[in-house]
């Protein structure tokens, strides 16, 4: 597999047991490749399997069949510890709800992935986290508790946290779903800016066609199948 | 966040700080439980050592006696065969055969500190019209003091080794109206009698012993009790009084003698003490279990409350082992902090006990040693209890499916 590929899915299927021996297949053989630096939207109606696909790509869930390659590495062949390390190193998550750790400040939340990876804190880690928060415009709120800042700011902290380990791939599950239009635009601008300034690949799940139009590529999932995968020729770069 | 701290420590302490009320409550609970255990252990250890010390004041841990005399019926020819009834033989006062050799042999036994030859037998102490039944004990003072610290119990005069010097207890001195320098006569059942001069008066803190035992030089007792050159028993001091029975067994194995340890001769006392130790142990176990269940329940609740955070941490690359350690640290910390609090509480209770539990004369009822090892043991035990209590919730946290946890 060429190194330029951040993600490759080969025939990924995912089933859930809904009662012995009945199984319900949610993903029906997904094939997908994301090149380094791509900024792609994953759209589709509710229940189409977007979140399940994101969990499988994010190595939070195992596919029932098929292969997931992250930067050329077949995740199916890895044990839990290696998988966890790969996830921490290569994948950043931005959820619909920010899911910051309420016990920690904005800076500490952003430091957390690196802290978990290295085991103990160091100055470089702190500087990197502060730099990321600066990049999303949150320098004044570095030491504010995660619960003491606005929803838009919390989501931007979550973006900074997702970038803490300089991951190859950022998975965002409706990152603006809980925000008003202005905050949503601001958060999306932040994602776009980071993508343009780095070669980080983004896969963004969204229901919002307006935001999907701001992505370079739009992948549409319906009933667990990719029904459309097209480049977006009319990208709206800025809000 | 403390600079350069470890991930697990940081997260564990933040989780505990987030649920500060429940953390403090469980630490208080552990503290109270630990305090009760430490206090009870110190009081019972004090009580035990006090009783042991008082008993061993006047009692040798091991006493070696000649073998019991047994009746040996003669076999007769004919239908009578063996006599139908054999009366037990009366036990005469007699010497241990080759006692010097046996003494040397016992002295070499592992765990033995000193061996004192003694001649001991019944007699009467007479002074004027007063007479009292006594146990005449002939000793070699220097050797005997290494076994029984009689020299430290002298309240008047001193122990001297003159052939007619005698040391009596306070009770006997009172009964006979004797003081230092007074004469009293000892007689035995065989009719032998000697007049002695009271040179010392002792007090073992035991009325019976103070009224009964009189100490004279070994040779004088040998002469009085018609045991010239012999000794009726040997008293042995051992390094660990609680191992006395084990040492006695090894002496028994090497010589055909009666060897009685104080554990055997005070069986009732030891049964009572064993029951007390068992009760104490049971209470400690149940308090420990309560503490463990308290910690476990707090952590189980914490795992439920922190499910989403655990899921987020797992998504960010935190391993199962790290999550496990986060909760083990919490359990261990709660146990340790509780034990520190418990130690402080126990120390307070013990000081209060010391000031309250006193005899009528103001002396302590018994001495409670505040042994550092007791507090150290309690701290280590609490840490282990905390860690063990945290195992189940920690494993549960580590096994959480990040997807399910995040959705929770």
- Tens digit of each residue's pLDDT (9 = 90 or more) over B320-368: 999 999 999 999 999 999 999 999 999 998 888 888 877 777 777 777 7
Question: How does residue A219 score in pLDDT terms, banded at 50, 70 and 90?
Answer: very high
B89/B28 Cα distance (integer angstroms): 66
Residue B405 confidence (pLDDT) above 70: yes
Strands A73-74 and A65-70: antiparallel
Does residue A200 surpass a pLDDT of 50? yes
pLDDT above 50 for A1? no
- Under an 8 A CB cutoff, do A87 and B317 touch? yes
Mean pLDDT confidence for A12-38: 87
The per-residue pLDDT for A158 is: 92
Q: Do B318 and A102 touch (CB under 8 A)?
A: no
| pLDDT tens by residue, B279-309 | 888 888 888 888 888 888 888 888 888 888 8
Of B308, B309, B319, the CB nearest to A81: B319
Per-residue pLDDT at B84: 63
Is 0.90 topped by the overall pTM? no
pLDDT of residue B368: 77
Interface test with A, best of B316, B324, B406 (most A CBs within 10 A): B316
Mutate which of A101, A130, A161 to disrupt the B interface (most B C-beta within 10 Å)? A101
Which of A90, A92, A103, A132 to mutate to test binding with chain B, by most B CBs within 10 Å of its CB?
A103
**pLDDT for residue A3 is more than 60:** no
Classified as helix, coil or strand, A52 is helix
Kindly indicate the confidence band of residue A57, based on its pLDDT and cuts at 50, 70 and 90.
very high
| Per-residue pLDDT tens over the stretch B364-395 | 777 777 788 888 888 898 889 889 999 999 99
**What are the sequence ranges of the domains in chain A?**
38-62+86-231
B330, B301, B303: which is closest to B398 by C-alpha? Answer: B303
Q: How far apart are alpha carbons A95 and A175 in whole angstroms? A: 6
Sign of the dihedral through C-alpha B391, B392, B394, B400: positive
When pLDDT is averaged across residues B169-196 and rounded to a whole number, the result is 92
CATH 3.40.50.300 is right for the domain spanning A38-62+86-231: yes
Q: Is the CB of residue A77 less than 8 Å from the CB of residue B307?
A: no
pLDDT computed for residue B80 by the predictor: 59
How much of chain B, in percent, has pLDDT values that exceed 90? 46
Question: Do the Cβ atoms of B403 and A80 come within 8 Å?
Answer: no
Residue A171 has pLDDT above 50, yes or no: yes
Q: How far is A94 from chain B (nearest CA, A)?
A: 10
A60-64, B170-174, B353-357: the lowest-pLDDT one: B353-357
Read off the pLDDT band of B268 (50, 70, 90).
Answer: confident
Q: CB of B252 within 8 Å of any CB in chain A?
A: no
Per-window interface: A 136-175 vs B, CB < 8 A:
161, 165
List b or e across B245-273, with b for residues whose CB sees 16 or more CB atoms inside 10 angstroms.
bebbeebbeebebebbbbbeebeeebeeb
Is the Cβ of B404 closer than 8 Å to some Cβ of chain A?
no
- pLDDT-derived band at A227 (thresholds 50, 70, 90) equals very high
In this predicted structure, the answer to whether residue B89 has a pLDDT above a threshold of 80 is no
What is the residue whose two structure tokens read 């130790």?
B277
Q: What confidence tens digit (pLDDT) does each residue in A84-106 have?
A: 999 999 999 998 888 899 889 99
Contact status of A116 with chain B (Cβ, < 8 Å): yes
Q: Which of B291, B277, B353, B352 is nearest to B32 (CA)?
A: B291
3-state secondary structure of B137: strand
Q: What is the model's pLDDT at position A2? A: 44
- Cis peptide, bond prior to residue A21, ω within 30 of zero: yes
- Residue A137's pLDDT band, with cuts at 50, 70 and 90, is confident
Q: Is the pLDDT score of B73 beyond 80? A: no
With an 8 Å Cβ cutoff, are A101 and B3 in contact?
no
Closest by Cβ to B7, choosing from A80, A84, A115: A115
Domain boundaries, chain B: 7-55+270-407, 99-265
Give dist(CA B97, CA A9) in Å, integer. Answer: 98
Task: Give, in words, the CATH class of B99-265.
Answer: mainly beta
């Amino acid at each position: 597999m060429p190194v330029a590929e951040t993600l490759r899915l080969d025939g990924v299927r995912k089933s859930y047991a809904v009662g012995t021996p009945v199984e319900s297949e949610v993903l029906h053989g997904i094939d997908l490749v994301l090149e380094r630096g791509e900024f792609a939207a994953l759209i589709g109606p509710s229940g189409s399997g977007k979140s399940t696909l994101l969990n499988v790509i994010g190595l939070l869930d195992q596919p029932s069949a098929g292969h997931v390659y992250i930067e050329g590495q077949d995740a199916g062949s890895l044990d839990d510890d290696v998988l966890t390390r790969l996830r921490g190193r290569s994948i950043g998550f931005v959820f619909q709800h920010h899911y910051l750790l309420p016990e920690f400040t904005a800076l500490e939340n952003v430091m957390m992935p690196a802290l978990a990876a290295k085991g103990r804190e160091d100055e470089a880690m702190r500087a990197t986290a502060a730099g990321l928060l600066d990049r999303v415009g949150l320098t004044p709120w570095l030491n504010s508790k995660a619960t003491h800042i606005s929803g838009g700011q919390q989501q931007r902290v979550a973006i900074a946290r997702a970038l803490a380990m300089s991951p190859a791939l950022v998975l965002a599950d409706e990152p603006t779903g809980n925000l008003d239009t202005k905050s949503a635009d601001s958060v999306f601008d932040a994602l776009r800016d980071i993508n343009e300034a780095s070669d980080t690949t983004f896969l963004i799940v969204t229901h919002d066609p307006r935001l999907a139009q701001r992505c370079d590529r739009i992948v549409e999932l319906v009933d667990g199948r990719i029904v459309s995968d097209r480049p977006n020729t009319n990208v709206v770069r800025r809000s | 966040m403390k600079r350069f701290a470890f991930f697990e420590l940081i997260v564990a302490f933040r989780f505990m700080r987030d649920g500060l009320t429940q953390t403090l409550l469980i630490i208080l609970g552990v503290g109270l439980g630990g305090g009760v255990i430490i206090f009870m252990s110190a009081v019972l250890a004090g009580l035990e050592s006090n009783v042991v010390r008082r008993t061993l004041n006047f009692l040798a841990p091991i006493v070696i006696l000649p073998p019991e005399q047994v009746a040996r019926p003669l076999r007769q020819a004919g239908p009578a065969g063996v006599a139908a009834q054999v009366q037990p033989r009366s036990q005469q006062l007699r010497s241990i055969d080759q006692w010097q050799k046996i003494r040397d042999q016992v002295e070499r036994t592992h765990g033995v500190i000193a061996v004192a030859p003694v001649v001991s037998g019944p007699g009467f102490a007479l002074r004027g019209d007063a007479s009292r039944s006594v146990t005449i004990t002939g000793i070699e003072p220097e050797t005997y003091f290494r076994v029984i610290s009689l020299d430290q119990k002298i309240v008047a005069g001193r122990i001297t080794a003159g052939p007619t010097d005698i040391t009596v207890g306070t009770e006997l001195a009172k009964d006979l109206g004797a003081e230092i320098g007074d004469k009293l006569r000892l007689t035995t059942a065989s009719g032998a009698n000697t007049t002695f001069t009271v040179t010392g008066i002792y007090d073992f803190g035991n009325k019976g012993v103070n009224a009964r035992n009189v100490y004279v030089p070994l040779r004088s007792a040998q002469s009085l009790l018609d045991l010239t050159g012999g000794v009726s028993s040997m008293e042995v001091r051992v390094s660990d009084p609680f191992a006395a029975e084990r040492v006695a067994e090894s002496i028994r194995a090497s010589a055909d003698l009666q060897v009685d340890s104080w554990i055997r001769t005070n069986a009732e006392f030891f049964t009572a003490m064993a029951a007390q130790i068992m009760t104490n142990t049971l209470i400690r176990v149940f308090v420990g279990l309560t503490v463990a269940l308290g910690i476990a329940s707090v952590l189980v609740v914490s795992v439920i409350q922190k499910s989403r955070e655990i899921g987020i941490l797992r998504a960010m690359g935190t391993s199962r082992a790290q999550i496990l350690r986060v909760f083990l640290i919490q359990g261990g910390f709660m146990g340790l902090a509780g034990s520190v609090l418990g130690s402080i509480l126990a120390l307070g209770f013990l000081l209060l006990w010391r000031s309250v539990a006193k005899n009528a004369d103001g002396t302590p009822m018994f001495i409670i040693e505040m042994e550092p090892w007791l507090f150290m043991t309690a701290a280590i035990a609490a840490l282990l209890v905390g860690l063990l209590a945290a195992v189940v919730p920690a494993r549960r946290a580590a096994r959480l499916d990040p997807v399910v946890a995040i959705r929770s």
